[in-house]
């Protein structure tokens, strides 16, 4: 029996529900529904006009319904009257295939046919900035190497504590908070989980950080590169695959602690990294972060070439310890569902075809990249990434050609709108268009 949201509302004193979904551009959209109406909404969903969001639909289409997943319920720790729900989209009684949460669930289904489960954790970096986004919020945060700066961290204690307390209350098991490598930049880590749970939490985390920052008179942004000279907002993901509660990536006898299955999965991610950039680095601004010159702190902490290694942060994939790998390609604008879905689709190919990722490289890739001229490179801009996605047989098959075409079409429309106002040049400062359209990603 699914959980009865109406009964839960009564017992937890929830007055309103936010029935939410994320569109293809990662925008979080909701209806605020009074508890007295939740019974009907749980059955039939909340109605939306799909064309009014970033989904490939027409104004003539019938209503789209967001049917909430009761297992995703989060009672807002800072406003207990409100219960937040992730939903799946339906139209004319059928799941909307080209909607991110459905795309992820379809990949999870394929993995579960092998009796496997992907677990993941995400590291969402963000900046606290001025209201208009022209500078960071803390004018005293000016060190050239500001990472882990205690003073700058503690000047934001009230906000960070409220976010961390919220995660504790929600049972996410947060374990550390820090000032990151850019001035004004922070990161907060919580425990890994099933990949769908992590994707829902990732969506909620971004909402929570932005919402609580506003409450504290600040503005938070996950924009990949709001300031050209500073390290960008990454969103690294830690990946492992499990069966019956046992980590199938773990092999203690291997020199890096990864099993054959783990290497094959990783091989799939390496093979598909170029087209996956269209999901992992989905904005025009994303390409200021990868393939970028060193920042004020001395390093970008983001990849340029497609390579993997042991515990070394200069490569796209790092194996920091036994039984998992860290993919460092994604940035703060990545759609939380497409992030997990993309990793999973690539990993499935890797496992199915037993793809060998080759030998790990043990070098400082930021310094030694010229010694490896044959390594494949990440795309230089969103247009290249979209071309690679369109040409990817594997991803077209995994997600369906129609759905991939929808994504590419919407992204190309966005790129055309940008081109009317500006030109993408990494050497020049971030454009107004990028800020207007990415600061709230």
The dihedrals phi and psi of 158, each to the nearest 5 degrees, come to -60, -45
Query: Residue 237: beta bridge partners?
Result: 122, 327
DSSP 62-77: PPEEEEE-GGG-EE-T
The least CB distance from residue 320 to Mg ion, in Å, is: 12
Q: In 324-400, which ranges are continuous DSSP H helix?
A: 336-352, 365-368, 382-391, 393-399
Cβ-based nearer residue to Mg ion, 236 or 411: 236
Nearer to Mg ion by Cβ, of 56 and 187: the residue is 187
- What number of CA atoms fall less than 13 Å from residue 410's CA on the CB side? 23
- What is the number of the residue whose Cβ is closest to Mg ion? 187
DSSP line for 158-194: HHHHHHHHHHHHHT--EEEEEE-SSTTEEEEEE--EE
CA angle (98 as vertex; 261, 275 as ends), nearest 5? 50
For Mg ion, the closer of residues 23 and 187 by Cβ is 187
Shortest spacing between CB 168 and Mg ion, in angstroms: 21
Q: Is residue 89 a contact partner of residue 102, using CB atoms and an 8 Å limit? A: yes
Q: Compare residues 170 and 299 and give the one whose CB is closer to Mg ion.
A: 299
Minimum CB separation of residue 295 from Mg ion in Å reads: 13
Restricted to residues 364-393, the positions that interact with Mg ion (CB under 5 A) are none
Closest CA to 338 of 106, 67, 57: 106
Shortest distance, position 147 Cβ to Mg ion, whole Å: 9
Minimum CB distance to Mg ion smaller for 188 or for 241: 188
Site size for Mg ion, by CB under 5 A? 1
Measured between alpha carbons, how far is 128 from 135 in angstroms, rounded to an integer? 9
State which residue, 148 or 372, has the beta carbon closest to Mg ion.
148
Tell me the closest approach of the beta carbon of residue 183 to Mg ion, in angstroms: 14
123 vs 384, beta carbon nearer Mg ion: 123
Nearer to Mg ion, 69 or 187 (CB): 187
Is 326 a binding residue for Mg ion by CB under 5 A? The answer is no
Structure tokens at 299: 């390093």
Structure-block tokens of residue 100: 């991110």
Of 121 and 275, CB closest to Mg ion: 121
Q: CA-based diameter of the chain, in Å?
A: 65
Is there a contact between 319 and 258 (Cβ–Cβ < 8 Å)?
A: yes
- Whole-number minimum distance, CB 287 to Mg ion, in Å? 19
Between residue 166 and residue 195, which ones bind Mg ion under the rule CB under 5 A?
187
State in angstroms the smallest separation of the CB of 392 from Mg ion: 28
- Residues 266-325 contacting Mg ion, CB under 5 A: none
Q: Shortest approach of Mg ion to residue 301 CB, angstroms?
A: 7
Smallest gap from residue 299 Cβ to Mg ion (A) = 12
Q: CA 213, 192, 219: angle at the middle one, nearest 5? A: 10
Please give the DSSP secondary-structure letter assigned to residue 143: -
CB 355 within 8 A of CB 267: yes
Binding residues for Mg ion restricted to 206-265, rule: CB under 5 A: none
Binding footprint of Mg ion on the chain (CB under 5 A) = 187
């Amino acid at each position: 029996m699914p959980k009865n949201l109406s009964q839960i509302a009564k017992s937890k004193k929830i007055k309103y529900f936010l029935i939410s979904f994320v569109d293809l551009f990662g925008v979080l959209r909701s209806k605020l529904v009074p508890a007295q109406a939740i019974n009907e909404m749980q059955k039939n969903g909340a109605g939306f006009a799909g064309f009014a969001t970033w989904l490939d639909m027409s104004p003539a289409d019938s209503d789209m319904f967001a049917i909430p997943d009761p297992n995703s319920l989060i009672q807002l720790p800072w406003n207990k009257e409100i219960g937040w729900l992730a939903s799946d989209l339906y139209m004319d009684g059928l799941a909307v295939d080209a909607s991110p949460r459905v795309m992820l669930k379809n990949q999870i289904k394929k993995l579960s046919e092998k009796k496997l489960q992907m677990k993941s954790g995400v590291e969402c970096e963000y900046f606290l900035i001025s209201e208009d986004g022209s500078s960071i919020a803390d004018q005293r945060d000016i060190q050239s190497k500001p990472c882990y700066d205690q003073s700058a961290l503690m000047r934001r204690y009230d906000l960070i504590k409220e976010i961390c307390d919220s995660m504790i209350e929600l049972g996410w098991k947060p374990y550390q908070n820090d000032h990151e490598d850019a001035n004004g930049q922070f990161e907060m880590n919580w425990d890994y989980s099933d990949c769908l749970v992590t994707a829902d939490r990732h969506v909620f985390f971004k909402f929570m950080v932005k919402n609580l920052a506003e409450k504290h008179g600040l503005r938070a942004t996950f924009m990949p590169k709001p300031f050209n000279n500073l390290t960008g907002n990454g969103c690294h993901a830690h990946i492992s695959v499990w069966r019956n509660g046992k980590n199938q990536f773990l092999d203690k006898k291997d020199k890096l602690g990864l099993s054959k299955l783990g290497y094959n999965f990783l091989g799939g991610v390496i093979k598909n990294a170029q087209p996956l950039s269209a999901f992992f680095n989905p904005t025009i601004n994303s390409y200021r972060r990868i393939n970028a010159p060193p920042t004020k702190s001395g390093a970008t902490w983001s990849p340029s070439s497609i390579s993997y290694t042991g515990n070394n942060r200069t490569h796209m994939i790092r194996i920091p310890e036994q039984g998992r790998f860290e993919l460092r390609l994604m940035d703060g604008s990545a759609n939380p569902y497409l992030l997990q879905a993309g990793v999973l689709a690539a990993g499935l190919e890797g496992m199915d075809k037993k793809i060998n990722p080759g030998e790990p490289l043990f070098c400082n890739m930021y310094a030694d990249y010229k010694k490896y001229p044959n390594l494949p490179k990440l795309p230089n801009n969103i247009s290249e990434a979209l071309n690679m996605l369109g040409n990817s047989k594997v991803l077209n098959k995994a997600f369906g050609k129609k759905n991939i075409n929808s994504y590419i079409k919407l992204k190309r429309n966005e790129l055309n709108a940008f081109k009317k106002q500006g030109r993408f040049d990494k050497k020049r400062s971030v454009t107004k268009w990028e800020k207007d359209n990415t600061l709230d990603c």
